[in-house]
Chain A
């Protein structure tokens, strides 16, 4: 059982919805990212998705693009990502960390080095947005023996045939994309999402998380009602973008920037916004 499996099982046993915040590694800088990760755990995050910055993030909306650009301007790369995770792990051996990003930096580093470095740093799962299941065999052959989870997306457009293949190769959790579009867009039809997630339940035992477009307590509650939990990215990265270069990185200030996560945690646990 992986650390992600254990985490999701514990949430389920306790009757609580899982909460996964997403931030970009190196946004605005290496040390602040580590501090933000600890703060997110204090806010009630179950798992942390850590974005690997990329110059050409074609599945992301403007907010996460800008987060990536801030990180890249400060020289962030995969080395930064691994270093952030290593430092986080030194104080937190429990909270699973999932790396999310695009394939080219992995191709350039090499799959073996990438998976090896990730495992050594303490990464639990990988989500590569532009790597569909049909092209993922090489990666899966490296992650399986290390018990590292690979998470795939299911979109509103995903066909039944593809869902079967995705369920077969996924582990950890399934990431259901709430909308047709990019990260940070607006959710339009919650009823349809409920029907789709219910359909997925027929095909997999994996926990199903919903992400894209969750920006406040109300949208989080609506999505959590039909799933095992929610992923919150753009709304959080937007707040982190407000940190100026000259701000001190006090715990209070960082807690202010991640207040949305604490608020959603409370809403999910109490069942009301």
Chain B
């Protein structure tokens, strides 16, 4: 054994999770009602087998190239970089994917699993509607029945995406229980799954839920980081000094971060939704201000009150408006491999406008959180350094929200 192997061995253990029961350190695991246990265990077995099969990944890669349009480019945002006068700000253009966000990377992969398992019916939950659209898209392509659960409040806020899903043939079910947002849509999808478990595949949209979802969604999203790593080496001859991505459930962030975790010289920043400011309590930042608990099938940082009740979150961005977060992020926070920070609604809106005017790219409000933090970070770094920011989605879906804030009726 060489010296270098001896040094890297413990580090590999930190990043090779989850264990067989789905744990990342103390986080993750399986916490669902007994009715769903068999389905979750079956999915784990199927995925473990298929993920060892090169043919499975060939089919996934083929779809990524010819249907999604990958690889997505790395784009150097020169005018934005010049404005902040520090590190180069480089965008990973997930907004250019088919359906306009990183979500399709995951739904393509899970649709392959559904097809392999012979499930004729898929269900999904959605907040902003991006994952719902990405699920309805793959369902249309494979001829599967598709039902999307969406909080009644979000159905109102995201009318255009609701109509897109309906055009694609999906049945959109408004959820009127609880706070009528994303977390309640997840509860209702879990209830549907327990009721129709024999016929149904549940496509969870982020790296949360019971094991194996946090693992398999990460694996499908890790194409972002693998591409970004290779593109950085090819175009710039070195790895970036920092990575920045927004974190709601955390799938675009883990997708970017994961292939870089063992590159100790690459700093990482996960940006949570600070809403009105973390100190006001009106935010969606469980890693910044929550505590470990159990929600939607896994142990992770959650936002709950002193009684253990899940609290309502607030963010201008519907896609970040979630009181939990993927368990691997909780682990990466505790071992201090990733820095978790937050930016406010106002900062994100400013970044939304700035990227639009300086670079001609309208970002999703979710991604605008990452842009806002990257600009602050760049200003503290030198021009020889570089930051790769995950531009996880495009902002067409958000123009009504921004227009409302500006007092304009479209």
Contacts and interface: CB of A to CB of B under 8 A. Distances in A.
A158 B34 contact: yes
Interface string A100-143: 00111111110000000000000000000111101100000000
A10 to B, nearest CB: 28
A108 B323 CA distance: 15
A171 interface: no
Contact size range, B: 35 or more
Contacts of A108: 291, 293, 304, 306-308
A166 B37 CA distance: 12
A154 interface: yes
B177 A65 contact: yes
B191 interface: yes
Contact of B191 (A61, A69, A153, A155): A61
A157 B37 contact: yes
B191 A107 contact: no
A59 B31 contact: no
A78 B184 CA distance: 22
Contacts of A56: 178, 183-184, 187, 295-296, 310
25 contacts: A55-B178, A55-B310, A56-B296, A58-B32, A59-B35, A59-B191, A65-B178, A103-B294, A104-B302, A105-B309, A107-B292, A108-B304, A108-B306, A134-B21, A135-B31, A154-B34, A157-B37, A157-B38, A157-B197, A180-B195, A180-B196, A180-B198, A181-B35, A182-B195, A185-B195
Interface residues of A, number: 43
A104 B297 CA distance: 11
A153 B37 CA distance: 11
Interface string B178-221: 10000110110011001111100000000000000000000000
A157 B35 CA distance: 6
A72 B304 CA distance: 13
A59 B194 contact: yes
Q: Is the interface of A mostly helix, strand, loop or mixed?
A: loop
B326 to A, nearest CB: 17
A211 B194 CA distance: 15
Interface of A: 54-59, 61-62, 65, 69, 72, 77-79, 102-109, 129-132, 134-135, 152-159, 162, 166, 177, 180-182, 185
Interface of B: 21, 29-39, 41, 177-178, 183-184, 186-187, 190-191, 194-198, 291-297, 299, 302, 304, 306-310
A132 B296 contact: no
A78 B309 CA distance: 10
A109 B293 CA distance: 10
A58 B302 contact: no
B328 to A, nearest CB: 18
Nearest to B306: A108
A208 to B, nearest CB: 14
A57 B197 contact: no
